[in-house]
Amino acid sequence: MAKYRKLSRTSNQRKALLRNQVTALLYRGKIVTTEAKAKEVRKIAEKLIALAVREKDNYETVTVTAKVAAKDAEGKRVKEVKDGKKVTVYNEVQKEIKKDMPSRLHARRQMLKVLYPVTEVPTDNAGRKRNTKKVDLPAKLFEEIAPKYANRNGGYTRIVKLGMRRGDAAPIVVLELV
């Protein structure tokens, strides 16, 4: 018996499809797809969530000093003249940051091997690059999804059958996070 479904695709197309669907599932929480694809996506997604649950508390909090540009009431940087040149004024600020332990860093890199980068675009600025922001999916896994499943041993996803697709009668399902 085969270890995985080939989904009538070459290996690179299949890997790209599965990575795309896993990324969409973890970003949105649910996807609609065929039953065969959902069963393959479920395997990958469950492994990533289990990895996040295992490593969710494996970090230390560190206080660092950072230089931040001083800003005026309009939000523009404050500049002063030194030796005939305009120079930005910086303030020193204490910040608390999370520093990953080595095993959590490794887990984050394992996740990044599977997940595609996601860019969030506000609906009012559709089609423009302005005000877009990159979503850190491993951070979302560690901070939002993993605490939800902390005391659950597997079974993080659910497949709900919807019926047959109109064009080719393929079984359609909803794959969602429980």
CATH of domain 8-58+101-123+133-178: 3.90.1030.10
Q: What is the pLDDT along the chain (178 residues), one digit of tens a residue?
A: 679 999 999 999 999 999 999 999 999 999 999 999 999 999 999 999 999 999 999 999 999 999 999 998 888 899 999 888 999 999 999 999 999 999 999 999 999 999 999 998 887 766 677 778 899 999 999 999 999 999 999 999 999 999 999 999 999 999 999 9
- pTM here is 0.84
For residues 45 and 23, give the distance between their C-alpha atoms in angstroms, rounded to a whole number. Answer: 9
Helices (H) and strands (E) in the chain — how many of each? Answer: 5, 9
**From-to residues of CATH 3.90.1030.10 in the chain:** 8-58+101-123+133-178
CA proximity to 122, closest of 106, 133, 138, 136: 133
Q: How many residues does the chain have?
A: 178
Tell me the sheet residues that pair with 96: 63
